[in-house]
Copies of this chain bind each other. A is one copy, B any other.
């Protein structure tokens, strides 16, 4: 983010879509060469008017940018949802620690399942079936049960609900604090549901097909429109035009699934869920241990 970054970002390959669009760009350049060859050979006058063609170019630019924005919005919405998972987990942890039963075993279980939610979401969104990394958190048998659940995040949320219900039934959790906890717990289900919506709903097919067809028509018509004036340079110009347009198209697709590890700029879910785990344990432990100070009591 400093001055040097500008030049390093210009040249870096890692994290760029260039490798993925290189073949397509070359194919359109070849088409440009072919058009030039035909024109030279047949001495045809293409004479495609440029002005109305530009309107099509503006439309194409607008919908390509729109699509990239739609991809980016989706990516950012996913980030916000995971931010929500962080917030709701923190709140649940505090409510459990401060208002919950002063029973060690309940506390222990509640914080484990709270911390488990983010991990379960991560595995579920990535379609991973290996939950081994959670054994340290939940123990072997619980992890096996979780891994076999039809819907892992719902299972964790259900477990949390059972713990809350038990605490209320035993008269150890005030019903008003229960209500706030239940509200946070229900929000967790809303967040994972929204992540699943993003995962399962690509851009409307009818829209994405059309964008690519416009791109194709535009990039094929381009050399025909300009070959009269540009001659042997035609493929170079096609390259300069095709590269950004095809890249934008590809970026829109990369951003569409922000959870998959093989996508560029996917969200750092491993890091976020590790952070949540740390928050739940360290912060609560510190709060409870540091309580009895001279000023408070």
Contact = CB atoms under 8 A, between A and B. Distances in A.
B226 A49 contact: yes
B49 A213 contact: no
Contact of A55 (B60, B90, B257): B60
A150 interface: yes
Chain A residues touching B, majority SS: helix
A66 to B, nearest CB: 6
A40 interface: no
Contacts of A86: 193, 196-197
A274 interface: no
Nearest to A12: B209
Interface stretch (A117-125, A128-136, A238-246): A238-246
A240 to B, nearest CB: 6
Given A142-B293, A155-B290, A207-B265, 9 more contacts: A55-B60, A68-B207, A94-B189, A99-B161, A151-B279, A158-B283, A175-B176, A184-B186, A214-B244
Interface of A: 1, 3, 6, 9-10, 12, 15-18, 20, 23-24, 46-66, 68-70, 72, 75-76, 79-80, 83-84, 86-87, 90-91, 94-95, 97-99, 109, 139, 141-142, 145, 148-151, 154-155, 157-159, 161-162, 165, 168, 174-180, 182-184, 186, 189-190, 193-194, 196-197, 201-202, 204-210, 212-217, 221-222, 225-226, 229-231, 233, 237, 240-241, 243-245, 247-249, 251, 253-257, 264-265, 278-279, 282-284, 286-287, 290-291, 293-296
